[in-house]
């Protein structure tokens, strides 16, 4: 693949813009400036620098974001900034989308990708991908509430009970809840149906992937691929 095509595929602008970046001496390979946009390179495993920013080649982008409160999981937000605005421009150009949604006031682990098939696979209710939420409640957590969430609660738009795959108290006003579905406002509605109210909501785990402790709110990092979500 030509070097200019690599930059284009990674979201660094139109083809002419990518050629201009290279001709202008803004691209480095192995630490050395490369000013030949038509240089043939092997993209797999390629790491290059554009204007001092190190960038690994990914045919499909998959990133993990520590979502802060005050951001919408939408490309066309209505009331708050989009989580997309927290990503660098090349990833925005590539059209990354959130895998599922977290409410504006919900924080924690959010995946974003430009792989439509992966989004479908991860959000399909048939796949039962576990998601773990840390919840702070307004009222004290009771054993009865935990039992009810484990057995299943009825939401107003679904006659069938919805139950947590796992549920435990982590404090007097705190719960850890594991879900396999992704219904609208599901955690808040389930807790409300059990007789309590969510005050703060944070997603700490998606599949086999935990939110890294050293990833600050608003920061993101690459994932090597979907296998990171299924590792033992």
Q: Are 64 and 221 in contact (CB under 8 A)?
A: yes
The catalytic position among 36, 49, 103, 105 is 103
3-state secondary structure the chain: CEHHHHHHHCCCCCHHHHHHHHHCCCEEECCEECCCCCCECCCCCCEEEECCEEEECCCCCEEEEEECCCCECCCCCCCCCEHHHHCCHHHHHCCCEECCCCCCCCEEEEEEECCHHHHHHHHCCCCCCCEEEEEEECCCCCHHHHHHHHHCEEECCEEEEECCCEEEEEECCEEEEEECCCCCCHHHHHHHHCCCCEEEEEEEEECCEECCCCCCCCCEEECCCHHHHCCC
Q: Is 147 a catalytic site residue?
A: no
* Residues annotated as part of the active site: 103
């Amino acid at each position: 693949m030509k070097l200019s095509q690599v930059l284009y595929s990674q979201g660094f602008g139109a083809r002419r813009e990518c050629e201009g970046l290279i001709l202008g001496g803004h691209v480095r390979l192995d630490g050395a400036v490369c000013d030949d946009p038509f240089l043939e390179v092997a993209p797999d495993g390629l790491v290059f620098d554009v204007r001092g920013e190190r960038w690994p080649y990914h045919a499909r982008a998959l990133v993990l974001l520590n979502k802060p409160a005050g951001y919408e999981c939408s490309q066309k937000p209505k009331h708050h900034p989009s989580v997309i605005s927290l990503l660098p421009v090349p990833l925005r150009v590539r059209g990354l989308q959130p895998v599922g949604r977290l409410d504006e006031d919900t924080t924690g682990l959010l995946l974003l990708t430009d792989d439509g098939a992966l989004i479908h696979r991860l959000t399909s209710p048939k796949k039962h991908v576990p998601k773990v939420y840390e919840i702070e409640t307004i009222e004290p957590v009771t054993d009865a509430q935990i039992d009810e969430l484990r057995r299943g609660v009825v939401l107003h738009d679904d006659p069938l009970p919805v139950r947590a795959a796992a549920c435990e108290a982590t404090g007097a006003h705190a719960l850890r809840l594991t879900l396999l579905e992704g219904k609208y406002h599901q955690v808040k509605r389930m807790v409300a149906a059990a007789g309590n109210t969510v005050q703060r909501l944070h997603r700490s785990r998606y599949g086999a992937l935990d939110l890294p402790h050293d990833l600050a709110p608003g920061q993101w990092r690459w994932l090597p691929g979907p296998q990171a979500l299924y590792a033992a």
